[in-house]
Amino acid sequence: MKVKGLSVLVVCTGNLCRSPMAEIILRDKIRQKRLNIQVRSAGTLKTGKTMPDDKALQALQDYGYHPMVNPVQQVTQQDFIEHDFIYAMDRTNLADLLDICPAEHKNKLALFLSKANRQEKEVPDPYRRSSEFFQRTALLIESGAVALVDSWQEQGINACNENLSQ
């Protein structure tokens, strides 16, 4: 019998830049620590776009990540049920999530940088910004991802999952 691991959703505005970057970086950090945690990303708004921003994918590649390109997705009501934690990239995303989240699941919501020991508490949106801005965003997300993974380990969420294929 396979034990269900933790399920995490990372959310930005359009699922074009920050949340896909966070999904890839978190998956990498989770694999390194051999944790049983599933990660997915979504956006609060429907943008009409189908794939993440090329600059986001390039920034990930520049830092040695190997992004798998997943289609853009919007947050659904089912996400609040299926995920154990839902992390918003900024306060606007968090407010949007709080507006649509059923009361019994609001305790799952937090800012992505909530565990990071940083002055910044929000990940700024790099959409339509320079490649350098995307690279800085990737580094900020990386620090948040490391803090989250460390936090999960401290909570005892450390079961190895040999079948983490994503």
* Ranges of each domain in the chain: 4-153
| Whether 12 contacts 122, CB under 8 Å | no
125 is catalytic: yes
The pTM for the full model equals: 0.90
* The pLDDT of residue 4: 64
- Give the distance, in angstroms, between the CA of residue 36 and the centroid of all CA atoms in the same chain: 16
Q: Per-residue pLDDT for 164 more than 50?
A: no
* Structure-model confidence comparison of residues 134 and 48, the more confident one: 134
**In terms of CATH, what superfamily is 4-153?**
Response regulator (3.40.50.2300)
Q: Which residues contact 54 (CB under 8 A, 6 or more apart)?
A: none
Q: Which of 12, 17, 53, 79 is catalytic?
A: 12
Report CA dihedral (90, 91, 95, 96) to the nearest 10 degrees: -30
* The pLDDT of residue 127: 95
* The pLDDT of residue 161: 42
Q: Where is average pLDDT lowest: 34-38, 82-86, 93-97?
A: 34-38
12 is catalytic: yes
* The pLDDT of residue 156: 80
Q: Which of 28, 53, 96, 125 is catalytic?
A: 125
Q: Per-residue pLDDT for 159 more than 90?
A: no
Q: Which of 17, 18, 90, 101 is catalytic?
A: 18
* The pLDDT of residue 158: 60
Q: Per-residue pLDDT for 84 more than 70?
A: yes
